[in-house]
A and B are shown apart, each in its own frame.
Chain A
């Protein structure tokens, strides 16, 4: 991939909440189609990193570029190119799954047919017309994944994307959000071995600081587990 523009480029990235530093001096590069696995204990800055990349938070120092667009200056350009699957499904509980997806498709300028297509791919066609509040957490997670993919984003930001999914659900989503999707992925996970196995680059965070950022093959599971005090 030498010579290609990186999908993700961070240089001394910092983000604070008031006086508290949530993320500091994070630097790495990720090429298109690669997967970055982010490890760290609770409060290490993983979700903050995802939210900065998703343009939901502004960086306070350093540089962040997604697909060549600088944050926060070109956030509007980045928004159309990322799919964000975080802790919250970002679905309205009083609307049906189909209505939610149609709504987000219109916001993203995605074709209407994409809704039916994704509902089929995540195995939610038969439950798509019931209110989201009546669905199980696993079903909501499948819909949330469909929401994140409506505009066919080249970059996926995934925060524990398999949480709440049963094995069948996880299998259904694998071609869409897994390594085989061909998308550039930033994957926050606590599953150390599985995360390392599907990553090209591994980032370890400890108290908001970068403990390591290198090729996943050069990081052992033991090193990653040390971040969790294990």
Chain B
């Protein structure tokens, strides 16, 4: 199953490298939203709750772009039938799609977080970077699991551009709350020692629940 997942993932990454359809669009979208917030809020810098909220909402909206495109090649080029005809465990398709989305999110954050720091953030991230990386990594696992599940659900629907945000964003509310709450102390002007433990536990639980749920139901989503 892992070998099949790696095969599908390598194919997805090769297509993304050639078409550059998802990651550049996500990164450009994020930077554009930061610029819009910069002018819309009429503030040169943000900190604390507002900064955390802006960062997380932007990242989640950028995720919608990747989720909408996650099954594009399968849908538009008959790839899904090619996969369904192969004697493979279909969970491998979920693992591949979730892994691809996880990597896209990492690449997005490599661009979006520094851009956020430059365009909007008042206090520097300074010593809070390791904690922020940990929060983002935990959130990315959950985003990848839920995103792959929603992408598969929406793949065969006609109005998938509507279905993806309508399904995805409500499912991401717990992740947004935990992510934004965990990040907020890191973005205060005066950083204080704060216990991130409960938010990291919540993010981990969210990851666990949605990874297990996705593995359990993914096979049925692909059934005729």
Instruction: Say whether A associates with B.
Output: yes
The interface of chain A, by Cβ under 8 A from chain B, is 54-58, 76-77, 79-80, 82, 84, 86, 88-95, 99, 103-104, 106-109, 131, 147
B interface, over-half SS = helix
The 7 nearest A-B residue pairs measured at CB: A80-B87, A107-B86, A88-B78, A90-B82, A79-B87, A90-B78, A106-B7
Q: How far is the CA of A104 from the CA of B85 in the complex (A)?
A: 10
- Select the stretch in B14-22, B51-59, B209-217 that faces chain A: B14-22
Q: How far is the CA of A37 from the CA of B54 in the complex (A)?
A: 62
B interface residues, tally (CB under 8 Å): 23
Q: How far is the CA of A190 from the CA of B89 in the complex (A)?
A: 36
Cβ-defined partner of A55 (8 Å) among B11, B73, B79, B85: B85
In this complex, what residue of B is CB-closest to A86? Answer: B81
Q: How far is the CA of A79 from the CA of B82 in the complex (A)?
A: 11
Decide: A82 near B11, CB < 8 A? Known: A56-B224, A89-B78, A94-B18. Answer: no
In this complex, what residue of A is CB-closest to B74? Answer: A92
Q: How far is the CA of A89 from the CA of B77 in the complex (A)?
A: 8
Q: How far is the CA of A120 from the CA of B18 in the complex (A)?
A: 26
Q: How far is the CA of A93 from the CA of B19 in the complex (A)?
A: 11
B7 near A79 with CB under 8 A, answer no
Residues of B within 8 A of A99 (CB): 11, 14
Residues of A within 8 A of B82 (CB): 90-91, 104, 107, 147
In the assembled complex, how far is the CB of residue A219 from the closest CB belonging to chain B, in whole angstroms? 30
Cβ-defined partner of A94 (8 Å) among B73, B78, B81: B73
B87 near A108 with CB under 8 A, answer yes
Residues of B within 8 A of A147 (CB): 82
Q: How far is the CA of A210 from the CA of B86 in the complex (A)?
A: 30
Residues of A within 8 A of B77 (CB): 90-93
Residues of B within 8 A of A55 (CB): 84-85
In the assembled complex, how far is the CB of residue A34 from the closest CB belonging to chain B, in whole angstroms? 22
B86 near A95 with CB under 8 A, answer no
In the assembled complex, how far is the CB of residue A152 from the closest CB belonging to chain B, in whole angstroms? 13
Q: How far is the CA of A131 from the CA of B14 in the complex (A)?
A: 12
B87 near A92 with CB under 8 A, answer no
Listed by A's residue number, 27 A-B pairs whose Cβ atoms lie within 8 Å are A54-B85, A55-B85, A56-B81, A57-B224, A58-B223, A80-B87, A82-B85, A84-B85, A90-B77, A90-B78, A90-B81, A90-B85, A92-B15, A94-B14, A94-B18, A94-B19, A94-B73, A95-B11, A99-B14, A106-B7, A107-B7, A107-B82, A107-B83, A107-B88, A108-B86, A109-B87, A131-B18
Residues of A within 8 A of B11 (CB): 92, 95, 99, 103
In this complex, what residue of B is CB-closest to A147? Answer: B82
In the assembled complex, how far is the CB of residue B71 from the closest CB belonging to chain A, in whole angstroms? 13
B4 contacts the other chain (CB 8 A)? yes
Cβ-defined partner of A56 (8 Å) among B7, B8, B85: B85
Q: Which of B72-116 contact A (CB under 8 A)?
A: 73, 77-79, 81-88
In the assembled complex, how far is the CB of residue B72 from the closest CB belonging to chain A, in whole angstroms? 11
6 more contacts with CB within 8 A, not counting A56-B85, A104-B82, A107-B7, are: A54-B85, A56-B224, A90-B78, A90-B85, A93-B77, A106-B3
Q: How far is the CA of A109 from the CA of B84 in the complex (A)?
A: 15
In the assembled complex, how far is the CB of residue B1 from the closest CB belonging to chain A, in whole angstroms? 12
Q: How far is the CA of A90 from the CA of B40 in the complex (A)?
A: 46
In this complex, what residue of A is CB-closest to B92? Answer: A107
Q: Which of B10-47 contact A (CB under 8 A)?
A: 11, 14-15, 18-19
A103 near B7 with CB under 8 A, answer yes
Decide: A107 near B81, CB < 8 A? Known: A56-B224, A94-B15. Answer: no
Q: How far is the CA of A92 from the CA of B14 in the complex (A)?
A: 11
Residues of A within 8 A of B8 (CB): 107
Residues of A within 8 A of B223 (CB): 58
In the assembled complex, how far is the CB of residue A22 from the closest CB belonging to chain B, in whole angstroms? 12
Residues of B within 8 A of A76 (CB): 87
In this complex, what residue of B is CB-closest to A57? Answer: B224
In this complex, what residue of A is CB-closest to B19? Answer: A94
In this complex, what residue of B is CB-closest to A15? Answer: B224
Q: How far is the CA of A89 from the CA of B88 in the complex (A)?
A: 20
Residues of A within 8 A of B81 (CB): 56, 86, 88, 90
